[in-house]
């Protein structure tokens, strides 16, 4: 529980480094609080040996499997857009890896790009069903090893590839895993049916949880605008490795009483990472405008704050993201609706 609290705190305090994998770790940490993951090697068992158990209810494994399935499925669906399918995104990603030792030149081949494009889609879409089906399980496991090690080496995406490989263990029968990794461990082979206490509450909580997990990634379809540009509905939606994005921004501050106009460059008061991320994300832009407003309020000045900037997706021409005439100091952030000061554009515009 302590780890979960600390991880959530870090996640919420520094969203400049938002990553779907970090969000995934939050979900897993929350699950571990409630699942009986302490029945073998834990301080709880050391203090109270009666807690020790060689069995785990199958519904516990299914919670992990369903969560992983949701992640992979939405990751596959998110890739079904023109810039991914025509190789624009992958080509851009690979061009940044041309200096990799040994494989750098190989990654620049066009046929390699299209293998990555379609292998990525079909892997995300089919890997869980293939792991669930006994006849294809070992094949799927081998493909998983290749896929995740490739991602780890080429994209350097932290611990996610290794977490994903670890989760494949939930698809195998206990005796298979024990025979490979835990040969001295007692294997539970009974087919006992055990209904947990408070099963109604558990069922209700799980239904609500998974409805939220299924619903959150869909919310951007109900918000006007292209999520790749507006970012509204992007987070917590398993939209991973989909695009490159860059932007420029400058703030215009108008003193309502004196009419004095001041221009502010956010990079003067942000870290390099924050400064490069801010122009591409409307909620960052709004938050910085609120910070400017607060700093002037502390000096007794009432100001309007305007943002002048543009963004580029996948090295396409720059487009205006924020209405330059909108006073962001007076705007409220709408979490589940379109914020009217974000300019709605299609990528073809």
pLDDT digit string, tens, across residues 243-291? 999 999 999 999 999 999 999 999 988 999 999 999 999 999 999 999 9
d(CA 105, CA 84): 21
Query: Would residue 205 count as lying in a domain?
Result: no
d(CA 179, CA 175): 6
Q: Which residues of 97-110 are buried (b: 16+ CB within 10 A; e: fewer)?
A: beeeeeeeeebeee
Query: Would residue 20 count as lying in a domain?
Result: no
Same domain, 312 and 237: yes
Same domain, 182 and 242: no
Task: Region of 256 please: left (phi>0), alpha (psi -120 to 50) or beta.
Answer: alpha
Same domain, 46 and 189: yes
For the whole prediction, is pTM greater than 0.85? yes
Position 132 scores a pLDDT of 95
Same domain, 187 and 235: no
Query: Would residue 340 count as lying in a domain?
Result: no
Q: Which of 86, 150, 100, 102 has its CA nearest to residue 123? A: 150
The CB density around residue 343, as the number of other CB atoms within 10 Å, is: 19
Query: Would residue 52 count as lying in a domain?
Result: yes
Question: What is the distance of C-alpha 349 from the center of its chain?
Answer: 27
Same domain, 147 and 255: no
**Which residues, 6 or more positions from 85, have their beta carbon under 8 angstroms from its beta carbon?**
79, 117
Mean pLDDT computed over 294-316: 94
Tens-digit pLDDT profile for residues 89-102: 999 999 999 999 99
From 140, 171, 194, give the residue that closes a domain: 194
Same domain, 90 and 42: yes
Same domain, 85 and 155: yes
Mean pLDDT computed over 239-246: 91
Q: Which of 267, 288, 286, 285 has its CA nearest to residue 276? A: 267
Total count of domains within the chain = 2
Tens-digit pLDDT profile for residues 215-237: 999 999 999 999 999 999 999 99
Nearest 5°: the CA angle 190, 192, 196 is: 135
Query: Would residue 7 count as lying in a domain?
Result: no
Same domain, 92 and 188: yes
Which residues form the domain of 251?
227-330
């Amino acid at each position: 529980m302590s780890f979960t609290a600390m991880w959530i705190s870090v996640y919420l305090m520094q969203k400049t480094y938002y990553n779907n994998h970090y969000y995934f770790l939050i979900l897993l940490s929350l699950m571990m609080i409630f699942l009986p993951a302490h029945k073998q090697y834990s301080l709880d068992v050391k203090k109270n040996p009666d807690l020790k158990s060689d069995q785990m209810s199958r519904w516990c494994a299914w919670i992990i499997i369903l969560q992983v399935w949701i992640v992979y499925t939405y990751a596959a669906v998110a890739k079904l857009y023109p810039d991914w399918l025509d190789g624009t995104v992958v080509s851009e990603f690979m061009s940044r890896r041309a200096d990799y030792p040994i494989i750098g030149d190989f990654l620049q081949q066009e046929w390699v790009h299209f293998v990555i494009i379609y292998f990525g889609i079909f892997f995300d879409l089919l890997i869980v069903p293939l792991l669930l089906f006994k006849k294809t399980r070992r094949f799927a496991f081998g493909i998983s090893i290749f896929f995740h090690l490739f991602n780890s080496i080429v994209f350097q995406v932290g611990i996610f590839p290794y977490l994903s490989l670890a989760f494949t263990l939930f698809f195998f029968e206990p005796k298979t895993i024990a025979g490979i990794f835990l040969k001295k461990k007692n294997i539970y082979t009974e087919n006992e049916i055990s209904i947990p206490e408070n099963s109604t509450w558990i069922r209700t909580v799980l239904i609500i949880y998974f409805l939220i997990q299924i619903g959150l990634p869909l919310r951007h379809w109900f918000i006007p605008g292209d999520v790749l540009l507006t970012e509204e509905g992007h987070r917590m939606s398993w939209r991973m490795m989909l695009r490159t994005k860059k932007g420029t921004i400058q703030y215009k501050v108008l003193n309502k009483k004196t009419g004095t106009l001041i221009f502010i460059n956010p990079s003067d008061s942000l870290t390099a990472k924050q400064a490069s991320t801010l122009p591409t994300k409307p909620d960052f832009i709004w938050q910085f405008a609120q910070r400017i407003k607060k700093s002037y309020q502390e000096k007794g000045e009432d100001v309007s704050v305007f943002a002048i900037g543009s963004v580029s997706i996948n090295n396409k021409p720059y487009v205006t993201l924020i209405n330059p005439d909108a006073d962001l100091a007076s705007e409220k952030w709408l979490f589940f609706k379109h914020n009217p000061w974000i300019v709605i554009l299609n990528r073809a515009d």
